[in-house]
Amino acid sequence: MDELRRYLAIVRKDLRVEFRTREILYTTTLFALLLVVIFAFAFLSDPAKSRDYGPGIVWVTVLFATTVGQNRLFDRERENDCLWALLLSPAAPSTVFLAKATAQIAFALLMQIPTILLILVFFDLRVTDPLAFVGALALGNVALGLVGTLFAAMLMNSRMKEVLLPLVTYPLFVPVVIAGVKVTAVAIGAPIAEDPEVWLRFLAGFDMIFAVVTVALFGRMVRA
Amino acid sequence: MDKRGIGLSAIGYGLTVIAAGFLAAALYAVFFIAPQEAVLGISQKIFYFHVGSAINMLIVFGICAIAGLVYLSIGNVRRSWADVADAIGVATAEVGVTLGVVVLITGPLWARKAWGTWWTWEPRLTLSLMVFLLFLAYLALRAFAGSDRFGRGVAAGLSILGIPAVYFIHFAVDRWGGAHPQVVYKGGLTQPGMRLAFGLSVAGMFLLSAALVWLRLTTERERQRLDALYLEVDRRAG
Amino acid sequence: MNPGALALQCESVARVFGRRHVLRDVSFTVHAGEVVAIVGRNGAGKSTLLSILAGRRQADRGSVRVVQGDRPATDSQTRSWLGFLPHDLLVYLDLTARENLEFTGVLHGRPDPVQRAAEVLSAVGLAADADRTVRTFSRGMQQRTALGRLMASGARAWLLDEPSTGLDESGRRWLLQLLAEQGREGRIVMFSTHHPSEVEAAATRVLVLDGGRLVADLPGGAEGAAAAFSLVDGGRS
């Protein structure tokens, strides 16, 4: 019960700071929208083919903008060494980790709503299977959030964090991107023979296993 | 260097000599015993070393992850074990990267001859590329993540995450790549000569990897002991 | 001695940076009710020692233990009993002083965090500014917020790194009174300082660090302070 209260307090703290400063949502959303515009100029030569690269654009945008936000969320904890105010409190390290990951995922999803709507409009994509479309994004974001939170926390004090974070996390994200692109392609009616359910289950499995491992690692890594 | 140090490096040099013997035998078997593959011709022969490196890269990576597990689970209780685990971690990671370079050079050479393109997203080759990139990230973390010790801990965590990651990457690229022709070793190495050459190559590359890991490990241990000596001097002087 | 009393045991603690020691074999035990000043020149290891005691950093050798009576505390007990005020104040700049203290109360599982935060805010003299974000505060006010954090956390052992930083003269007097009072209430207090007057005013015991080594363990008061600072000043001349 105490741990639940602590978890909620940390999440609420992050939301409160964000709605006061709006710095993460404002900057990452704007960044994501600009990425979409750039992609439009880079790829939109033949609108008939937009279903081919649409899924890729969705996931590359999600990946890039999320990584930027992940570094930002821990800038807040770096200032005044605040992450250690959490870690030195009686809260279990796993509570701290899950709360930060929750805030991380919430901000990523909020940023992605306008971004993805814009992609659908700009590239004239029609979602034929909304459940799979949303499901892949939800499950994918959990995966990005867990791994990203773990390493963003570890690299918080590193001078090289802006480049180290993607360096470390992107190899781990490759299967998430592959699965996400497949499901998204099916969900916008691209003519490929794929069973989205297999990939959704794959993403759910990834989330579960990485949740267990990242939670177990966080407390040990941060004190190493 | 003291007696123990000399003994330890002697094991490394011994391993190197044995590895050289195996690799020479492997080369002989590859070119003079194994028959030429019917479809691919002589270019298929690079396969023996390509696969030999890839298999050993995965083995070395597994050891690196186990060392990471030991480092993070008992590192704060037994510092001496942590030092050994950390030395194994850096040695295996560096040798793994070296093997990865071999895999990623021989792969395209073969692909060029077999399919006419330098790069093919063949699932196993793709998996090798991803593992190679993970190793590079591991070394980058050790070098740049912060203080020496903190970087080591973070890198150890990455190597542990590598275990489930390899499983998921394997599944994903396998289903994703899909369409490429399955290469000879699925159909099997039909001829006994091929099997001999393959066995010798894998064993030779394994011994070579073991020798390199061992030598790198002893160097790292020496470095740790040197640090400890400096600290001891500093402790007595201060 | 009271069997339930808290003690902080530091046993041959060493901390290494590269090939040099920041702390060498530091051992001592502090009991409930003691107010301990840690003095030494810049780089003597005061901050490192406090951060190891607080659990912020790990010792390379030796151990730090929190015991209650004879029983060692569990990890989560240790974290809830120790309160730390380092140079990086551990307070959120984008939260108000009140929010910081209420958040601390919840994290530390205090019974009535809202009520307690209000009490603490007036105790540290921030009642009028309680609803401004800490970023808009002066350093002294931020320091008061951080002190309030310790009070709101209900910690039984306070570890403070140069706590008078940024405080004006009356603030400093108030702080020293506060620390002495915590000792009388049975808490452990350890603070680092460069000012003999602070040792004199609050400390019941002085530890002198030089080059990472504990070179003296003296009683507090005017005499102890004088002896300690003659060691600090004469240490390497």
Contact by Cβ (8 Å): C163, C191: yes
Q: Span C142-170, mean pLDDT?
A: 96
**Is a pLDDT exceeding 70 seen at residue A199?**
yes
A83: closest chain C residue by CA: C90
H-helix or E-strand spanning residue C72: strand C71-72
**Is a pLDDT exceeding 50 seen at residue C237?**
no
B131-135, B191-195, C92-96, C120-124: range with lowest mean pLDDT? B191-195
Q: Do C92 and A21 touch (CB under 8 A)?
A: no
The domain made up of C6-234 has a fold known as Rossmann fold (3.40.50)
| Residue C169 Cα, gap to closest chain A Cα (Å) | 24
Chain A residues with beta carbon closer than 8 angstroms to that of B141: 164, 168
Does some domain include residue B181? yes
| Residue B234 Cα, gap to closest chain A Cα (Å) | 24
Per-residue pLDDT at C1: 43
Residue C17 β-bridge partners: C20
Model confidence over C28-46: pLDDT tens digits? 999 999 999 999 999 999 9
B166: closest chain A residue by CA: A172
Does some domain include residue B6? no
Pairs of residues, one from chain B and one from chain C, whose beta carbons lie less than 8 Å apart: 22
Residue among B189, B186, B138 at smallest CA distance from B161: B138
Residues 6+ apart with CB under 8 A from B181: B115
A138 close to B (CB below 8 A): no
Q: Which residue of B145, B152, B161 is in closest CB contact with A158?
A: B145
Model confidence over A89-122: pLDDT tens digits? 999 999 999 999 999 999 999 999 999 999 999 9
Q: Do B231 and C211 touch (CB under 8 A)?
A: no
Residue C44 DSSP code: S
A50-59, A97-106, A147-156, C186-195: range with lowest mean pLDDT? A50-59
Exposed, middle or buried, C17 (CB in 10 Å: 0-12/13-18/19+)? Answer: middle
Per-residue pLDDT at C233: 85
Query: For residues C207 and B24, what is the distance between their CA atoms, to the nearest angstrom?
Result: 67
Residue among A32, A57, A182, A35 at smallest CA distance from A123: A57
> Which of the residues in chain B have pLDDT under 50?
179-181, 184-187
Pairs of residues, one from chain A and one from chain C, whose beta carbons lie less than 8 Å apart: 72
Q: Do A17 and C108 touch (CB under 8 A)?
A: no
Chain C residues with beta carbon closer than 8 angstroms to that of A9: 103, 106-107
Contact by Cβ (8 Å): B54, B128: yes
C57: closest chain A residue by CA: A223
**Is a pLDDT exceeding 50 seen at residue A1?**
yes
Query: For residues C145 and C149, what is the distance between their CA atoms, to the nearest angstrom?
Result: 6
Q: Which residue of B152, B160, B169 is in closest CB contact with A224?
A: B152
Chain mean pLDDT for chain A: 94
C211 close to B (CB below 8 A): yes
Residue C210 β-bridge partners: C213
Q: Do A224 and B172 touch (CB under 8 A)?
A: no
pLDDT band at A60 (very low <50, low <70, confident <90, very high): very high
Query: For residues C125 and C117, what is the distance between their CA atoms, to the nearest angstrom?
Result: 12
A198 close to B (CB below 8 A): yes
A45-49, C51-55, C105-109, C221-225: range with lowest mean pLDDT? A45-49
**Domains contained in chain B, number:** 1
Query: For residues C168 and C214, what is the distance between their CA atoms, to the nearest angstrom?
Result: 31
Per-residue pLDDT at A132: 96
Output Rg (C-alpha) for chain B, integer angstroms. Answer: 20
In chain A, what are the domain boundaries?
2-222
A59-63, A188-192, A204-208, C177-181: range with lowest mean pLDDT? A188-192
Per-residue pLDDT at A180: 96
Q: Span A174-203, mean pLDDT?
A: 93
Query: For residues B72 and B109, what is the distance between their CA atoms, to the nearest angstrom?
Result: 39
Exposed, middle or buried, B32 (CB in 10 Å: 0-12/13-18/19+)? Answer: exposed
pLDDT band at C3 (very low <50, low <70, confident <90, very high): low
Instruction: Evaluate whether ipTM surpasses 0.90.
Output: yes
Q: Identify residue B84 by its one-letter amino acid code.
A: V
B227: closest chain C residue by CA: C19
Chain C residues with beta carbon closer than 8 angstroms to that of B76: 58
Q: Which residue of A6, A81, A223 is in closest CB contact with C106?
A: A6
Q: Name the percent of chain A lying above pLDDT 70.
A: 100
Question: Which stretches of B116-191 are DSSP H helices?
Answer: 123-144, 148-177, 184-187
Per-residue pLDDT at A5: 96
Chain mean pLDDT for chain C: 93
More confident: C205 or C70: C205
